[in-house]
Structure 1
Amino acid sequence: MRNKFAVLILSVTLLANTAWAQKKTYDADIIIYGGTSAAVTAGVQAARLGKSVILVSPDVHLGGLSSGGLGFTDTGDKEVIGGLAREFYHRVFMHYNTDTAWKWQKKEAYGNKGQGTPAIDGADRTMWIFEPHVAEKVMEDFVKENKLTVYRNEWLNRKNGVNKVNGKIISITTLSGKKFYGKMFIDATYEGDLMASAKVSYHVGREANSVYGENWNGIQTEVFQHGHHFARKIDPYKVPGDKASGLLAGISKENPGIKGEGDDKLQAYCFRMCLTDHPENRVAFPKPDGYNSADYELLARVFQSGWNELFNKYDPVPNRKTDTNNHGPFSTDYIGGNYAYPEASYKERRKIIKDHENYQKGLLYFMATDSRIPKNLQAKLNTWGLAKDEFKDNGNWPHQLYIREARRMVSVYVMTEHEVLGKKEVPNPIGMGSYALDSHNTQRYVTQAGFVQNEGDIGVKAPLPYSIAYDAIVPKEQECANLLVPVCLSISHIAFGSVRMEPVFMILGESAATAAALAIDGGLSVQKVPYVQLEKLLLNQKQRLRAR
């Protein structure tokens, strides 16, 4: 009897363990890692093509920057935005085409200001400017309508969570122990974590101009193209004129390097803040953890020099809100605070993100309270605050840091400024971009003359919309045959400055899923997908592939 009881217990235990294992194991035709706008459009397209798909999202909130504060869309030329990206902006239009969408402002009072195109384009039934929660709702509607399976708050085990056999990913495992098997995988993260963990070649930082024969890559000392530099002579030392007193916070003691040479530094990150001046929806700027007014002494000196452009990037979104971005020599960009981010552990990244949050909250609190801020600007600033009805589960603070650049894949084809500036024809296009070569400041240093200066701010207009190559989103075949990388694609630093726009990420996410479906149907590697078939499908999806 005792033996029978033991056998029974063992059987029950085995059954329980088997059930537990089954709950921890999932499979689909296509596994997408990420919660960005590219991840969602990839998931929608995979489902529409009849493939089973799972989104493994480290994010709880879907949509990345599109739902994380970047509501003043960097459209470039809207005519090259097609497919699901255009459907996204059409759905935004439909939302704001109802009276109930305008809670804090009359529609006619909004003003219709956009970037590169009117905010509300009635003829095309698209809207390019929106509140964060509206973008998130559109993303969630995409998920619900297409019956996408999404596992949120699931973080790739970057040490040993990618199982590769004979150059193909078989499965990925998250820190919670969930294992996802797939035929094809898409890395749609801003960081490129799946790509890196799969041992695919990549680059971090700026290449020297000599690497790809470029002009605008590499270190760009004394090049000022957006006005985000110190136009006046500002002393960098704690005690003006006294080197021995040490540098003010945020200024590097390192030499900036030789113009045109490469480095491992990154253009600055920030949060795109959603602010409001509506009294009933406004939350006062909070005092952050570890606040120290000395961290903003350099800004005080900028104001004392006569600078008064504080409100130049309070770009309006509906309902008396803003998408507030970096502007000026000392602003929301936390220059130098992100260098370690791409390769950092999750714990280290959380600290970097928190440092950016504290820096930016401290900046607002400093300007709102410090006696050195010009009184007229301070009074106006204090009519603004965080929007009470946005990011409600995160203290009204954006849940997504603006990862302007992290890892970038290095494949057989690398997009460069030559394609963006129309100097080189692109083979096998899968979408288009049109924005300028755009990089934010990368470092802040002391000039030979002894004054503070920024470096890295570049803005060179693309003369015409340009195509993006299919080979730029697939790794070298010998490195991985079933992975597509639509966000951290194969591209130089400065060319990525044009491609790194949310509409383009949506376009590339959709194209990646289309290629993945064709690879599955043909039993092919992603590198061997017949372009003629891919092109036909993309055109049927109303993607724009070439200049008209």
Structure 2
Amino acid sequence: MKLVSGLIAIFFSTFFVSTGFSQTYQADIIIYGGTSAAITAAVQAKKMGKSVLVVSPDKHLGGLSAGGLGFTDTGNKAVIGGLAREFYHRLYLHYQQDSAWKWQKREEYGNKGQGTPAIDGENRTMWIFEPHAAERVFEDFVKENQLEIHRNEWLNRESGVKMENGKIASIQMVSGKTYSGKVFIDATYEGDLMAAAGVSYHVGREANSVYGESWNGVQVGTYQHRHYFMDSVSAYKIPGDPASGLLPEISPNPPSKNGEGDKLLQAYNFRMALSRNPANQVPFAKPSNYDPARYELLARVYAAGWTETFDKYDPIPNLKTDTNNHGPFSTDYIGKNYEYPEATYARRREIIKQHEDYQKGLLYFLSNDPQVPEDVRKEMSHYGLAKDEFTDNGNWPHQIYVREARRMIGAYVMTEHDVLGAKAVPQPVGMGSYSLDSHNTQRFVTPGGFVQNEGDIGVHPKQPYSISYGTLIPKKEECTNLLVPICVSSSHTAFGSIRMEPVFMILGQSAAAAASLSIDGKIAVQELDYQKLRKVLLEEKQVLEN
């Protein structure tokens, strides 16, 4: 009977229904989230002698770093220091073992990375890896540092954050559990704790006029990657006939004027782990709600002569790929995530399921539909879902790629001027180097009746740039004991560069160092002496400036 009641409680907790059971926990630092930033923050807090609790909505730790994004967006790897570099070093050690190469010989791997060798023997780092290997590293961090992780705990976003005198006193989960601490860190991709604490934030793209930028706002006609319709493809079910109606996956709403702001978000997708080894494959199944008509646009792209299907089937060890979006119609589910940041947990689950159904249908379409060129279908026959990845989730990634959700409007707002080197960045706590990278935000009909995508940009900084401590902290009048290392204070276009997993690990570590020093000084996080923080970060081998 006890077992049955326990299973019932777990079931309802999973679906965000309070059981009425209440427990209270305390620690110096409460970290909400299970991402890579959450774990590096927890390790750093422990290193500085603080008690810490990680309250994670997720069962699996590491976020995207353990959720399929194994082909790391490194940018300039020289600026990746501290615990982030330790993470990639541990992956290097893992792949030095013969036992790590179950499905492929090491010498057959090829060593291709994103602008860098995958296996960097000189620096003893591994930048390309399998999801399960990354998750193991995060779990090793937990075990070695004796971190206390409370998994599958979801913040009561309506009334669970208790504020006292401008500080977060405690947070309550939908399970009824309550956590009190001296400093809190929101290490989620969504910024749920930040928002529930009443901290200012933005969703969508600011107008260029807000921060005097060039690459924010609507970007119709900006084609900096190859994720747009290069040929004239009719948007209508009957080509050229508006009366026949729009094809699926096209918005009927025209874009705003270039440079104007909107509430639209760059597209999400799943970074899939696919296998080329027949012994380690799960075939692409036909979804129960499969409708080939929703992929008609892709068929027309093929008919126009497009041949880049496999350009982002990037190799990771053991004959697997980190498969990402590529082209005008691919795994990005454009325009279907706008509600996500502010949505209820139930609605988010629906949105995530819609993305999953879309991508699984796309895989089946690519593998089976006669409108797909025969050479593509033949090549797809060599792939399947990796059988040894995400084994408790039907071999499907447990983390959707939330490329952007809420962004704090904090003590300092990073903009493209900071990223592109047009101004000096005060009080650096880490560095970034990736391009201003946004995926498409909408798919629309041109005045001529053709389909086109909008929102994709890729502008490269001349050199790595510093990230300010002010991006991690709210305005003092809003909250004095919160740090936010993922949904940082930045414009949409600056966040396009900052939003890389190595950077999140860096900022998580720096946030925890700041939290610990603020506790030591019994001061607001906004009052912290930067020189004290800088000293600690340099001792921890963080890279702060060029």
Q: For 2:22 and 2:292, how far apart are their aligned partners in 1?
A: 51
Local SS of the residue matching 1:203: strand
Q: 1:132 offset after TM fit, Å?
A: 0.1
Q: For 2:331 and 2:429, how far apart are their aligned partners in 1?
A: 34
Q: Which residue of 1 aligns with 2:186?
A: 187
Q: For 1:447 and 1:59, how far apart are their aligned partners in 2?
A: 41
Q: Which residue of 1 aligns with 2:322?
A: 323
- Spell out the pairing of 1:432-471 with structure 2 (5 A cutoff): 432-471=431-470
Q: 1:370 offset after TM fit, Å?
A: 0.7
Q: Which residue of 2 aligns with 1:355?
A: 354
Consecutive unaligned residues in structure 2, runs of 5 or more: 1-18
Q: For 1:73 and 1:469, how far apart are their aligned partners in 2?
A: 23
Q: 1:242 offset after TM fit, Å?
A: 1.4
Q: Which residue of 2 aligns with 1:198?
A: 197
> 8 Å contact 2:428–2:467 — kept in the other structure?
yes
Q: For 2:411 and 2:175, how far apart are their aligned partners in 1?
A: 35
Local SS of the residue matching 1:172: strand
Q: For 1:102 and 1:200, how far apart are their aligned partners in 2?
A: 47
Local SS of the residue matching 1:248: coil
Cα–Cα, structure 1 residues 28 and 377, in superposed 2: closer, same or farther, change >3 Å? same
- Cα deviation code 1:157-210 (max 9, x no counterpart): 000000001100000000000000100000000000000000000000000000
Local SS of the residue matching 2:382: coil
Local SS of the residue matching 1:271: coil
Q: Does 1:479 align with 2:478?
A: yes
- Spell out the pairing of 1:266-281 with structure 2 (5 A cutoff): 266-281=265-280
Q: Does 1:219 align with 2:226?
A: no
Local SS of the residue matching 2:402: coil
Q: For 1:271 and 1:23, how far apart are their aligned partners in 2?
A: 35
Q: Which residue of 2 aligns with 1:30?
A: 29
Local SS of the residue matching 1:143: helix
Cα–Cα, structure 1 residues 145 and 22, in superposed 2: closer, same or farther, change >3 Å? farther
- Spell out the pairing of 1:72-471 with structure 2 (5 A cutoff): 72-471=71-470
- Cα deviation code 1:259-291 (max 9, x no counterpart): 000000000000000001101001111112311
> 8 Å contact 2:21–2:176 — kept in the other structure?
no
Cα–Cα, structure 1 residues 313 and 253, in superposed 2: closer, same or farther, change >3 Å? same
Q: 1:116 offset after TM fit, Å?
A: 2.1
Q: Which residue of 2 aligns with 1:17?
A: none
Q: For 2:289 and 2:423, how far apart are their aligned partners in 1?
A: 50
| TM-score when normalising by structure 2 | 0.96
> 8 Å contact 2:22–2:175 — kept in the other structure?
no
- Cα deviation code 1:48-95 (max 9, x no counterpart): 111000000000000000000000000000000000000000000000
> 8 Å contact 2:421–2:461 — kept in the other structure?
yes
Ranges of 4+ aligned residues in structure 1 off by more than 6 Å: 20-23
Q: For 1:94 and 1:111, how far apart are their aligned partners in 2?
A: 18
Q: Which residue of 1 aligns with 2:14?
A: none
Consecutive unaligned residues in structure 1, runs of 5 or more: 1-19
> 8 Å contact 2:253–2:444 — kept in the other structure?
yes
Q: 1:30 offset after TM fit, Å?
A: 0.1
Q: 1:22 offset after TM fit, Å?
A: 10
Q: 1:240 offset after TM fit, Å?
A: 1.2
- Cα deviation code 1:86-145 (max 9, x no counterpart): 000000000000000000000000000001211000011000000000000000000010
> 8 Å contact 2:48–2:516 — kept in the other structure?
yes
Matched AA of 1:121: D
- Cα deviation code 1:433-459 (max 9, x no counterpart): 000000000000011121000000100
Matched AA of 2:235: P
Q: 1:23 offset after TM fit, Å?
A: 6.8
Cα–Cα, structure 1 residues 22 and 308, in superposed 2: closer, same or farther, change >3 Å? closer
- Spell out the pairing of 1:10-89 with structure 2 (5 A cutoff): 24-89=23-88
- Cα deviation code 1:377-413 (max 9, x no counterpart): 1011111010000000000000000000000000131
Matched AA of 2:107: E
Q: For 1:23 and 1:332, how far apart are their aligned partners in 2?
A: 41
Q: Which residue of 1 aligns with 2:518?
A: 519
Q: For 2:487 and 2:397, how far apart are their aligned partners in 1?
A: 22
Q: Which residue of 1 aligns with 2:534?
A: 535
Local SS of the residue matching 1:495: helix
Q: Which range moves more in the overlay, 53-62 or 376-385?
A: 376-385
> 8 Å contact 2:63–2:399 — kept in the other structure?
yes
Q: For 2:223 and 2:456, how far apart are their aligned partners in 1?
A: 6
Matched AA of 1:414: V
- Cα deviation code 1:330-362 (max 9, x no counterpart): 000000010000000000000000000000000
Q: 1:241 offset after TM fit, Å?
A: 1.5
Q: 1:480 offset after TM fit, Å?
A: 0.3
Q: 1:21 offset after TM fit, Å?
A: 10
Q: For 1:140 and 1:325, how far apart are their aligned partners in 2?
A: 25
Q: For 2:261 and 2:115, how far apart are their aligned partners in 1?
A: 32
Local SS of the residue matching 1:26: strand
Matched AA of 1:94: L
Q: Which range moves more in the overlay, 215-224 or 22-31?
A: 22-31
- Cα deviation code 1:21-66 (max 9, x no counterpart): 9971100000000000000000010011110000000000000000
Cα RMSD for the two superposed structures: 1.0
> 8 Å contact 2:70–2:316 — kept in the other structure?
yes
- Cα deviation code 1:214-261 (max 9, x no counterpart): 000000001100010000000110111111111011101111110000
> 8 Å contact 2:226–2:328 — kept in the other structure?
yes
Once the two structures are aligned, what percentage of the paired residues are identical? 67
Q: For 1:283 and 1:310, how far apart are their aligned partners in 2?
A: 20
Cα–Cα, structure 1 residues 255 and 27, in superposed 2: closer, same or farther, change >3 Å? same
Q: 1:421 offset after TM fit, Å?
A: 0.4
Local SS of the residue matching 1:169: strand
Matched AA of 2:103: W
Q: For 1:434 and 1:409, how far apart are their aligned partners in 2?
A: 21
| TM-score when normalising by structure 1 | 0.96
* Count of residue pairs brought into register by the alignment: 528
Matched AA of 2:164: V
- Cα deviation code 1:298-338 (max 9, x no counterpart): 11111111111100001000000000000000000000010
Q: For 1:157 and 1:110, how far apart are their aligned partners in 2?
A: 46
Matched AA of 2:299: A
Q: For 2:217 and 2:71, how far apart are their aligned partners in 1?
A: 28
Q: For 2:545 and 2:208, how far apart are their aligned partners in 1?
A: 27
Q: For 1:288 and 1:389, how far apart are their aligned partners in 2?
A: 21
Local SS of the residue matching 1:216: coil
Q: For 2:78 and 2:216, how far apart are their aligned partners in 1?
A: 28
